[in-house]
């Protein structure tokens, strides 16, 4: 009796084929999201770029087609800060099933003052976490229609040192931009872990995986004009940082593996190999504070109330 051939080692430059599958990437018009979309496009899958800016999305699609022969890529309008609009995203995809969604989009504010979405939520928490929380709710029928769909939530290494204040999720009492950003990404990661727990309890075929890009800098990222242009000066000045950090093309690797690798399981955390900051993707232990189910449940209940997605979510 012959045995099955061994699975080859994961190679970020030789991804498995995914012909016939459909992937949605939020925030795919720039940064890490762009490279997630470009790399997934090289597998033969159809990749949908979710973006609130149609012109930037089309520029990203044009760039992907220029770098990936035969890329099947298109765009849909997706504004995570506009919660009511997310109900229609699933219909706008015009597909019968969705094999994966990569929750990558996000906003970061460098300086005060505090800003809010049109719905009155703190901008970073409302966009980065609440928007993805609600979007997943409306995408779930399409995800459940696929044989083994994945929800991949892109967190941040900045969340590792943060802790949620469940009594001040929207930074009304004490707003500090960098801390509020880190907490919004931590909330996303809690969501990814708790979502998988709930999917397993329901016997769902959908899996939820959390990833983070490590330390990813524009100055270490290859040019993709007009999406991203790296000057010679920026490349030279960033050379020392390359010993510890990486470009956004490499920051995309953990999420791409979380989508494609059949050995990846729900509830796992994936990040860069070297100190969690750079290198090829590997599984890492779920951070201790992310494993706190009581915090995750309270966050889930609060998020459900804030988004108004209904009691069945």
* Cα separation, 63 vs 249, whole angstroms: 14
Output the pLDDT for position 21.
98
Residues of the chain with pLDDT under 50: 1
CB atoms within 10 A of CB 4: 5
pTM for this model (two decimals): 0.95
* Cα separation values, 247 from 173, 235, 244, 304, Å: 35, 11, 11, 35
Per DSSP, 286 falls in state P
Task: Catalogue the E-assigned strands of the chain.
Answer: 22-26, 46-51, 72-77, 100-103, 150-154, 207-211, 216-217, 246-247, 269-274, 278-284
pLDDT of 228 = 87
Helix axes 132-144, 177-201, angle to 10 degrees: 30
What pLDDT, on the 0 to 100 scale, is given for residue 5? 58
Query: CA-CA distance, 136 to 130, in Å (whole number)?
Result: 10
The model's pLDDT over 251-267, given as tens digits with 9 standing for 90+, comes to 999 999 999 999 999 99
Contact 115, 171 (CB under 8 A): no
pLDDT of the residue at 57: 97
Integer Cα distance of 306 and 300 in angstroms: 10
Cα separation of 293 and 289, whole Å? 9
Residue 8 has what pLDDT? 79
Distance CA 191, CA 286 (A): 13
Closest CA to 108 of 181, 175, 213, 186: 181
Supply the residues annotated as catalytic. 181
The two three-digit tokens of residue 19, written as one number = 């012909």
């Amino acid at each position: 009796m012959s045995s099955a051939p061994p699975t080859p080692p994961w190679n970020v430059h030789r991804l498995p084929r995914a012909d016939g599958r459909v992937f949605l990437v939020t925030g795919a018009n720039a940064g890490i999201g762009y490279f997630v979309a470009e790399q997934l496009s090289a597998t033969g899958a159809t990749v949908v770029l979710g973006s609130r800016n149609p012109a930037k999305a089309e520029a990203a699609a044009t760039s992907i087609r220029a770098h990936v022969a035969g890329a099947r890529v298109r765009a849909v309008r997706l504004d995570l800060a506009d919660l009511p609009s997310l109900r229609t995203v699933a219909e706008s995809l015009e597909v019968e099933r969705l094999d994966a969604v990569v929750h990558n989009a996000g906003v970061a504010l460098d300086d005060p003052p505090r800003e809010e979405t049109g719905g009155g939520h703190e901008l970073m928490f409302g966009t980065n976490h609440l928007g993805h929380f609600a979007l997943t709710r409306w995408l779930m029928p399409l995800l459940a229609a696929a044989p083994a769909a994945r929800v991949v939530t892109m967190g941040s290494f900045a969340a590792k040192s943060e802790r949620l204040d469940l009594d001040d999720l929207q930074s009304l009492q004490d707003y500090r931009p960098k801390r509020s950003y880190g907490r919004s990404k931590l909330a996303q990661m809690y969501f990814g872990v708790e979502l998988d727990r709930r999917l397993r309890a329901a016997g769902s075929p959908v899996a939820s995986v959390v990833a983070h890009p490590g330390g990813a800098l524009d100055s270490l990222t290859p040019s993709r004009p007009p999406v991203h242009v790296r000057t010679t000066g920026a490349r030279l000045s960033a050379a020392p940082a390359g010993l510890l950090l990486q470009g956004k093309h490499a920051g995309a690797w953990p999420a791409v593996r979380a989508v494609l690798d059949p050995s990846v399981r729900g509830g796992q955390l994936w990040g860069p190999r070297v100190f969690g900051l750079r290198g090829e993707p590997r599984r890492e232990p779920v951070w201790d504070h992310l494993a706190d189910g009581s915090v995750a449940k309270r966050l889930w209940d609060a998020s459900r109330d804030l988004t108004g997605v209904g009691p069945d979510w």
